Amino acid sequence: MTAKIIAVINRKGGCGKTTISMMLGGAIANKKKKVLVADGNSEQGSAIRWASVASSDKPFPADVVEIGDTTDQIHNELRKYIYDYDFIIVDCPPTAQSVIGESVLLVADLAIVPVEPNPLDIWGTVGIKKLIGEMVIKNIGLKSRLLINKCNPNTRLTKDVLEIISDFGIELFNTKIHKRTVYAEAPAIGGIVHDLGYKAKEAIQEIDQLTKEVIKILK
Ligand SMILES: Nc1ncnc2c1ncn2[C@@H]1O[C@H](COP(=O)(O)OP(=O)(O)O)[C@@H](O)[C@H]1O
Ligand SMILES: [Mg+2]
């Protein structure tokens, strides 16, 4: 097996990189795939901490390791895991603060760019679009998708943003992740929304749909 590498990446913090990395990591692992989430934000270590909250009789479904966030050699560090996993998901630190995003994109198969549907956040992703454009020249197989996160479909703002974003230049996932309390609750139980039962049913559905899309893109 040779792992498919997914970079969850954006310029700024707070757009949901760790949340999406852990949801996808957990959901793909529950499909009997070997998944590694590589926590590239060691200063915060949120993915590591998230997994450490899980109880020993129900551990987090994916392995989670820390990778250094000061080196530009992450592509080499990832190579040592590549034969042991089906998927490696790299929870990148904000690219505005770190060089690792660039080195992850050298070996990634897919870049997922979570973005909140408001003008400031959309404008903020112009830099990432440029970086991905530069890295595609070195890593021709690199695919990329924007992922709308914290979507609140009933607001005028979201509707306006969704209209303009289709011309942004990076393809959009069909799946949108909505703003839901269960996403913020999942880290507290060291699991994913699937572990929160009935109250999370809409979230479970959208994560399952996202998982399917990701696997299809990487086929
Ligand atoms: N879809 C969502 N609905 C509600 N809260 C969310 C959602 N996605 C992320 N959050 C919350 O937003 C905050 C930032 O998310 P996080 O995944 O840590 O972002 P990043 O890793 O990009 O800094 C966290 O408190 C998280 O629980
Ligand atoms: Mg994070």
Q: What is the pLDDT of residues 87-112, one digit of tens each?
A: 999 999 988 777 888 999 999 999 99
Residue 44: partners with Cβ closer than 8 Å, 6 or more residues away: 18, 93
Q: Which residues in the chain come in under a pLDDT of 50? A: none
pTM across the whole model: 0.96
* pLDDT reported for residue 204: 98
Residue 158: partners with Cβ closer than 8 Å, 6 or more residues away: 117, 151, 152
Query: Which string of b and e fits 136-170 if b means at least 16 CB within 10 Å?
Result: eeeeeebbbbbbbbbbeeeeeebeebeeebeeeeb
Q: What is the pLDDT of residues 200-219, one digit of tens each?
A: 999 999 999 999 999 999 99
Nearest CA to ligand 1 atom 13: 14
H or E element at residue 172: none
Task: Name the class of domain 4-218.
Answer: alpha beta
Cβ < 6 Å from ligand 1: which residues? 13-19, 46, 149-150, 177, 179-180, 183-184
